[in-house]
Chain A
Amino acid sequence: MEGERLASQARSSGLPAGGATGESPGVDAPLLGSSGSSALLQAEVLDLDEDEDDLEVFSKDASLMDMNSFSPMMPTSPLSMINQVKFEDEPDLKDLFITVDEPESHVTTIETFITYRIITKTSRGEFDSSEFEVRRRYQDFLWLKGKLEEAHPTLIIPPLPEKFIVKGMVERFNDDFIETRRKALQKFLNRIADHPTLTFNEDFKVFLTAQAWELSSHKKQGPGLLSRMGQTVRAVALSMRGVKSRPEEFMEMNNFIEIFSQKINLIDKISQRIYKEEREYSDEMKEYGPIHVLWSASEEDLVDSLRGVARCLDQCCKATEKRMSGLSEALLPAVHEYVLYSEMVMGVMKRRDQIQAELDSKVEALTYKKADTDLLIEEIGKLEDKVECANNALKADWERWKHNMQNDIKSAFTDMAEENIHYYEQCLATWESFLASQTDLHMEETSEDKPESH
């Protein structure tokens, strides 16, 4: 079977192994969002320019936040929320449920932006209430992600959906884009909630619970812009050194993630392409059935057969639409999340390398007696601890991530297979019933014909 245009294009243009945005000319590649500190820096710059006051925040009155009150809009039982949200770890231990919905457009003189409603339900003691409702915009999510990366540089932070999709976007905020983003944002928050360490992060709690002004003032408390900038410059210098002294297990990890990233990117493109082809097939099918109806208007004796075929074709067309929507519900977002995830992981590996490199550079300095020995030894001690912590954190998180990845991929593809089986079963049923009707009629007709011969 000869290679198809898609994959051979991707191969010849050479997908980058490392963390950079995977764009090649002529191939659909979404502009990948923040990954690594430099992109984060960009987002921060944007943040500082904006005025936070126009954030609409709806926060329920504390008096209504009663354990016994029932809101007709929201499902109150934790069990019903289990069905809504796919999570990774043991279902029984889940005590934090988050939904993201109700995208709303806000227009100001400076800009237009969307906010999403975030509802959190929890039984945890450290939360002041059992239910929270806040409104957040994409920038807020970016901020949260940045804080998490800062606090846990070698943990695999879940990815955020991209800032923009360059290709095929007519309007910055069309419905499909918003819906896709909403789902991804919900996934993002739930992944954090399910993470054994991240779930207790303070910034996360603030994100979920604070009102607009509270969030603004909290944001301003973090380490300043300049210090982060300083970190970035050093990071680049150190990263090369870090790669050389990388321990074996992290070498393996790195190899894996590089290849994984390539493959998942390809799979993402293939899946998007399949969706596109199915859409075009469905569009053509819409015209196919009606022609048979048109034809039946001029054929007295073939009306049944022609209309029957038309019905089948229309049913198959509907089945295709259903298959497509199944694809866009399950497979496409799952695969795309892992495209972004692989970027995150590569960023994490880099940060680990940088931490290692810091240690190595100090050790080297000691060897060459470049500075005050005692001070160096003390610093080295601290850095050694830091490296050990970082490595252990990463190792553990890596195992967890890999395990989840396997489950998620398995589940996504199993879903896709089921959608296809269901599609073919539906089509089969409709054609078989048409055939049955025709052969019955046929047998009736031939038994009528037999006595007469012209």
Chain B
Amino acid sequence: MEQAPRDPERQLQPAPLEPLGHPDAGLQAAVSEEAEGARDEGSGEGTMTENNFWLKKIEINVSEAEKRTGRNAMNMQETYTAYLIETRSVEHTDGQSVLTDSLWRRYSEFELLRNYLLVYYPHIVVPPLPEKRAEFVWHKLSADNMDPDFVERRRIGLENFLLRVASHPILCRDKIFYLFLTQEGNWKETVNETGFQLKADSRLKALNATFRVKNPDKRFTELKHYSDELQSVISHLLRVRARVADRLYGVYKVHGNYGRVFSEWSAIEKEMGDGLQSAGHHMDVYASSIDDILEDEEHYADQLKEYLFYAEALRAVCRKHELMQYDLEMAAQDLASKKQQCEELATGTVRTFSLKGMTTKLFGQETPEQREARIKVLEEQISEGEQQLKSKNLEGREFVKNAWADIERFKEQKNRDLKEALISYAVMQISMCKKGIQVWTNAKECFSKM
């Protein structure tokens, strides 16, 4: 793990991880005591143990969401949601937490932070933000960004994002991140002053590189395939899940109609009346139970979505590698061609076709002095080129090493999280089944008493 020189002002402790994206810790509790223990240990990837020096830990919460109106860059009125970020430091000894910072941020500022991190840490799999617009909706969910359920799930997603960054051994040390949590005003200017936008690789260049890299590191090629597959399969899964949710909703809700009709029917029945009436009540209970069930499932879907977006982050790292590799190959090619030119000039043989060579043949050779001058220039360029190639090579190897370390960390995290998510899904299903058994047992009793 990297040990950057520690600047106390910039230090942050990795936050204790809360069950990610899952608001109802109670559901998890019975199952994952062990898991949480493992996660706490593994989360900081050893940073926890490293930072046992430090007396304070921090907690980050995105605790509130608020609708705001303001004027945007074009001086037009707009409505947006602002999120309250509260940071607490936790006294090691007594576990009491003290509010140290609290400020409001909107989604676009989170985006800015992330874009900055992407540029400055290209070898890191940068945690993704929750989706900008609601996708994979089924009929009940609103696709409106202002919808309270969407806002709530986004709040959780944003908190999750901050926790991920804060618990990353490298990212957590970043000053801009620190300021994001602590400096409300002027933060945007500070980020822009870093000039990170200029440092960003152009997309066109990145696309070019993909097609023309001759010798990429095989692991990155495999990783890219993996991330494509991951994205494809999770998208598919989320789509089908949404359809299943829609159908399940239909099944439950139609049963609610029984309630009304039974109630009306019971009015004319002497012996059956009571049984019908109370059975009808249970049908209503059954029908309304689906709302909570599907609400919980949305959180599960969000957990999967996070990894859908993580696939993009993985791809970004692969692209960076390809770009660097491409750069390297271009530089090496350039150097080789210059060396060859130099040799040809020196020996007077023309092995490769060149326009200069042709014109020389046609219009007569240059003077020895001219040739010498050219050779000298080339030799300087070659020397420079060799230096550059050397440093590019070094850079490239460093990148691969660091990137792969983070990718390994990511893989572990992903396996843990997805396993947790699948387990939590099972827990949800179990809860749904138990509710179903109870309701129908009650209904059966009513029916048998009719």
Contact = CB atoms under 8 A, between A and B. Distances in A.
B268 A435 contact: no
A33 B234 CA distance: 51
A263 B265 CA distance: 6
Given A428-B433, A438-B419, A1 B42 contact: no
A1 B254 contact: no
Contacts of A449: 38, 41-42
Nearest to A263: B265
Given A7-B261, A432-B430, A277 B251 contact: yes
Interface stretch (B127-135, B185-193, B353-361, B435-443): B435-443
Interface string A305-323: 1101100100010000000
Given A431-B429, A454-B1, A291 B250 contact: no
A292 B264 CA distance: 45
A417 B429 contact: no
B247 interface: yes
B423 A438 contact: yes
A434 interface: yes
Contacts of A308: 422
A45 B35 CA distance: 77
Interface residues of B, number: 69
Interface stretch (A80-88, A110-118, A149-157, A407-415): A407-415
A288 B268 contact: no
Contacts of B268: 255-256, 259-260
Interface in A419-438: 420-421, 423-425, 427-428, 431-432, 434-435, 438
Contacts of A6: 254, 257
Contacts of B261: 7, 263, 266-267, 270
B271 A428 contact: no
Interface string B253-278: 11111101100110111011001000
Contacts of A274: 251, 254-255
Nearest to A428: B433
B311 to A, nearest CB: 11
Contacts of B450: 406, 409-410, 413
Contacts of A68: none
A431 B440 contact: no
Interface in B362-380: none
Nearest to A265: B261
B253 to A, nearest CB: 5
Interface string A433-454: 0110011001101100110011
Contacts of B229: 298
A427 B429 contact: yes
Contacts, number: 184
Given A259-B265, A270-B261, A294-B236, 18 more contacts: A6-B254, A255-B268, A263-B261, A277-B251, A285-B244, A288-B240, A301-B415, A302-B415, A410-B272, A410-B275, A413-B450, A417-B447, A431-B433, A435-B426, A446-B34, A450-B38, A450-B41, A453-B41
17 contacts: A4-B253, A7-B260, A280-B247, A281-B250, A281-B251, A288-B244, A298-B230, A302-B419, A312-B426, A410-B450, A413-B443, A414-B448, A421-B440, A424-B436, A438-B419, A443-B34, A454-B45
Interface of B: 1, 31-32, 34-35, 37-38, 41-42, 45-46, 49, 226, 229-230, 233-234, 236-237, 240-241, 243-244, 247-248, 250-251, 253-258, 260-261, 264-265, 267-269, 271-272, 275, 279, 284, 287-288, 409, 415, 418-419, 422-423, 425-427, 429-430, 433-434, 436-437, 440-441, 443-444, 447-448, 450
Interface of A: 1, 3-4, 6-7, 255-256, 259-260, 263, 266-267, 270, 273-274, 277-278, 280-281, 284-285, 287-288, 291-292, 294-295, 298-299, 301-302, 305-306, 308-309, 312, 316, 406, 409-410, 413-414, 417-418, 420-421, 423-425, 427-428, 431-432, 434-435, 438-439, 442-443, 445-446, 449-450, 453-454
